[in-house]
Amino acid sequence: MKKEYIYKRFERFWHWSQASLIMFLSLTGFEVHDSIHVFGFEKAVMYHRIAAYLLLALIVFAIFWHFTTGEWKQYIPSFKNLKAQIRYYTVGIFNKEGHPTRKTALQKLNPLQVLTYLSFKIVLIPLVVITGVLYMLHKQVDANSMVIIGKIPLDVIAIGHTFGAFMLITFLIVHVYMTTTGRTLTSNIKAMITGYEELEDVDEPETDKKVKKEKDSIAA
pLDDT at residue number 65: 95
pLDDT at residue number 149: 59
pLDDT at residue number 205: 43
pTM: 0.80
Per the DSSP assignment, residues forming a β-bridge with 198 are 3
pLDDT at residue number 150: 57
Q: How many domains does the chain have?
A: 1
pLDDT at residue number 97: 82
Domain extent, residue 59, equals 2-219
pLDDT at residue number 39: 94
Letter for the amino acid at 133?
V
pLDDT at residue number 204: 42
| DSSP per position, the chain | -EEEE-S-HHHHHHHHHHHHHHHHHHHHHHHHTTS--SS-HHHHHHHHHHHHHHHHHHHHHHHHHHHHHTGGGGG----TTHHHHHHHHHTGGGGTPPPSS---SS--S-HHHHHHHHHIIIIIHHHHHHHHHHHHTHHHHHHTT-HHHHTS-HHHHHHHHHHHHHHHHHHHHHHHHHHTTSSSSSHHHHHHHHSEEEEPPPPPPHHHHHHHHHHHHHH-
pLDDT at residue number 217: 45
pLDDT at residue number 42: 93
Residue 108: phi and psi, rounded to 5, are -80, -25
- Residue 20's domain is classified under what CATH number? 1.20.950.20
Q: Which residues of the chain have a pLDDT value below 50?
A: 147, 204-220
pLDDT at residue number 26: 94
The separation between CA 19 and the C-alpha centre of its own chain, rounded to angstroms, equals 8
pLDDT at residue number 202: 56
